[in-house]
Every structure is written in structure tokens, then in C-alpha cells.
Amino acid sequence: MSAIPSLVLRFLERQPFMTISTCGSEKNMPHTSVVLYVMEATPRFYIATHRSSRKAQDLLKNPHVSGVHWAVNEMNVQWHGTAKEISGAEVDHWLELLAKKAMAMPDFWPPIFQMRGLDYIVFEITPTHMTAMKLDTATISTSVPPQVVILGE
């Protein structure tokens, strides 16, 4: 895996949410969700959701996933990759980190943390392709596409 620029890693670490798209329904229709995440610097993203949610069921059937992180006048990061279910003691570790991130945000209403027992499922998402674009006047007004591939081809 190629090195992700530190500017992009810092941006991803600061963002509390990302939008992911999955596709695993019987009709093969895409589904988009906003999710709270934590990440490792490789980067790998960790999300938790209710086991019966559409995104969980989609990822269990089809591990391919895409995502977007966006902040006004700052940056847009888009990626695609694969997800796998995490099990064992790692589940508690990632749930604890997700809870800490949620509790650090003022006025965050965390319905996901009201679920109990085995209702949770935690996924590790590994991007295989990633692009980034700084959203400032210099990049937006350029005549060449400002989106830069920073992972994959």
C-alpha cells in the first residue's frame, strides 16, 4: 500500500463521519449511509452498526464498499475497498473507541450506542483506491482535474 499524504491522514482522523455505499440487496440496488468511524493510519476504517441493518446485511453478502469524506472549503476524499466483519475481543476495542469519539462531540445523539448485546456488528474497511482533492480557491479554479489519486491506480 502506498503512503497516504499526512495532510489527508490528518483530515480523515479529524472527521467524525463518512458516507458509505454498499450493494448487496436481492435487487442489486446501491444503499448509502452516514456512519461514525474511527481509523488506523494505514488507513483502515472501523464502523459499528446494528447486525440487522441494511448496510450490515449488504456488507456480509458483498464486501465491496465505497466512501466519501467531505468538509466545506477543506477537502474531499473518495475511496473504494472491502469490508470484513471483526470478531472476538477486537469488537469491544473498536466499540470503545467509537463511543469515545461520539462522546467527544457536543450534541451528538448516538442511537447506535443504545443497542445491547449481540446486536452490534463491527466492520474493518480497507480502501484499495483513494482520491483526494483540496477544496480551496486554487484547486477549484484550475483547468485540470484537481482530484489526485493517492492510493491504488
- Residue ranges covered by each domain of the chain: 6-151
Q: Are 78 and 66 in contact (CB under 8 A)?
A: yes
Q: What is the DSSP letter of 113?
A: G
127, 81 contact by CB (below 8 A)? yes
- Tell me the mean pLDDT per 10 residues along the chain, length 153: 80 95 88 95 91 94 97 93 95 91 80 63 96 76 64 70
pLDDT computed for residue 1 by the predictor: 43
CATH number listed for the domain at residues 6-151 = 2.30.110.10
Question: Coil, strand or helix: which one is 24?
Answer: coil
**Phi, psi dihedrals of residue 74, rounded to the nearest 5°:** -125, -75
